[in-house]
Amino acid sequence: MIASDISIDAFRQAHEHVKEHAHHTPLMGSRSLSEASGFNAVLKAESFQRTGSYKIRGPLNKLAHMDEAEKRAGVICSSAGNHAQGVALAAALHRVRAVVVMAENATPSKIEATRAYGAEVVLHGSIWDEANEKALELVEEQGLTYIHPFDDLDLITGQGTLGLEIYDDLPIVDAVVVPIGGGGLISGVSTVLKSLNPEIGIIGVESSGAPAMKRSVEAGQRVELDQVDCVIDGLTVKRVGERTLEIVRRNVDEIVTLPDEKIFEALLWTLARTKVVVEGAAAAPVAAVLNGLVEADPGSTVVCVLSGGNINLDQLRGLSWN
């Protein structure tokens, strides 16, 4: 089976694993965003999810598929923060040891939350790729089972349960706008929604300072960025996954990019107008809509996936309120 052929039954089975511990988060209409865009704008508020992010979904499904020997060995992951918390809580719920490697500049609140869920935290490097190299070393040293943050079929299927909830709650949707880091979320969501409604538009949003997926799609193969100029941790990836690239090439209609400044402006706009707390990556779909990067007919129903609410308050303090 190729990655983009994950069946809808697999997603429904994943939802059975996920719903036992994760919330079915709400779809919220936004009059402010509708008026600003001309769309019928709807927000998928994954900010209200356990751990404050969609990233609990994939690990719950992954752990449900692991055998007892793998569970006894324990699990390890690398993460900028949200995947760390998702793996940590999922492992705790399954009573499995978890080790998490995080970049040294990860958001302090995410480090603290990961430890609070019971994981052992190792700090290494300045970006995800460097933390990931350390995690792979520990796999060899300690025999841990590695849970990739985005390029794993069980994880992608778990993340895709978010898309299943969108369809179950609101079957008639014209377009869904999803942030892209490594591509796990948009891979799962796009596969579900394209299976259920091939006409739906799927738009991905990246930081223009870290457009790894857009560059890779344009090149027809994975491209590793020489450097990234992005401070939004959920969007800062130098190289996307093999599986996620395959799925995005097949299922995603367009990828748009914006500078971090525009995304942070949308973050503040979302806080002020919708009263929903979002982190930087979660504000990217709203930024794309506010800046006219989502092409759809007036009145179209457009869902923005607010992927998480674990905001870095130190970054927020440095933003202008003008």
pLDDT at 28: 97
Catalytic annotation present for 307: yes
Place of tokens 């949308």: 266
Q: What is the CATH number of the domain that holds 119?
A: 3.40.50.1100
On whether both 142 and 187 belong to a single domain, the answer is no
Of 189, 186, 220, the closest CA to residue 204 belongs to 186
pLDDT at 3: 54
Q: Where on the phi/psi map is residue 183: left (φ > 0), alpha (ψ -120 to 50), or beta?
A: left
Mark which of 152, 179, 194 sits at the end of a domain: 152
For the chain, 322 residues long, the average pLDDT of each consecutive 10-residue run is 75 96 97 97 97 96 95 91 91 96 84 92 87 94 94 97 97 97 97 97 98 98 94 89 97 98 97 95 98 97 96 65 43
pLDDT at 105: 85
On whether both 61 and 203 belong to a single domain, the answer is no
φ/ψ (deg, to 5) at 134: -65, -40
Q: Does some domain include residue 312? A: yes
Angle, CA of 282, 283 and 285, to the nearest 5°: 90
Give the residues across from 44 on adjacent strands.
27, 305
Residues 55, 62, 214, 262: which is the catalytic one? 55
On whether both 179 and 255 belong to a single domain, the answer is yes
Q: Is 157 helix (H, G, I), strand (E, B) or coil?
A: helix
On whether both 134 and 106 belong to a single domain, the answer is yes
pLDDT at 118: 93
Q: What sign does the CA torsion over 252, 285, 278, 242 have?
A: positive
Q: Where are the beta strands (DSSP E) in 17-74?
A: 27-29, 40-45
Q: Does some domain include residue 102? A: yes
On whether both 146 and 243 belong to a single domain, the answer is no
Residues 308 and 278: their CA atoms lie apart, in Å, by 6
Q: Which domain holds residue 61?
A: 56-152
Q: Does some domain include residue 322? A: no
φ/ψ (deg, to 5) at 8: -65, -30
On whether both 44 and 146 belong to a single domain, the answer is no
pLDDT at 234: 87
| Angle between helical axes of 212-219 and 242-251 (0-180°, round to 10) | 70
On whether both 173 and 98 belong to a single domain, the answer is no
Q: Is 313 helix (H, G, I), strand (E, B) or coil?
A: helix
